[in-house]
Homo-oligomer: A and B are copies of this chain.
């Protein structure tokens, strides 16, 4: 059992990164992670990848899609990258989030309006104006 540093099997990497083996293979297919060469029958992963997977997961929590995460990862590798390159993406994402919040608030308002259409909860639905409100709202 010589478990060299920087020689994680995919299973060890998965455990260490708290994702499934399948997820790692999925990231490989999506080219977020480079698949290492086979050494004998198995492929071995550097421990660096634990941090990388953490970055991927954190980026997802921040609202980035995997496609966008891929771009972020590419930025972190390129020598020419400026801080600005990340900031631009961050600001764009904030704008997108603001848009989504606006959408959700609009929906919420309409739904709240709907609820007011109903006079009595136990009324048969066919007699209640709520369905008309549904259609007419906005």
Contacts and interface: CB of A to CB of B under 8 A. Distances in A.
Given A62-B111, A94-B108, A104-B97, A134 B55 contact: yes
Interface stretch (A3-11, A15-23, A31-39, A123-131): A123-131
Contacts of A115: 87, 90-91
A82 B124 CA distance: 4
Interface of A: 51, 54-55, 58-59, 61-63, 75-76, 78-79, 81-87, 90-91, 93-94, 97-98, 100-101, 104-105, 107-108, 110-112, 114-115, 118-126, 128, 130-131, 134-135, 137
B130 A86 contact: yes
Main DSSP-derived SS at the A contact region: helix
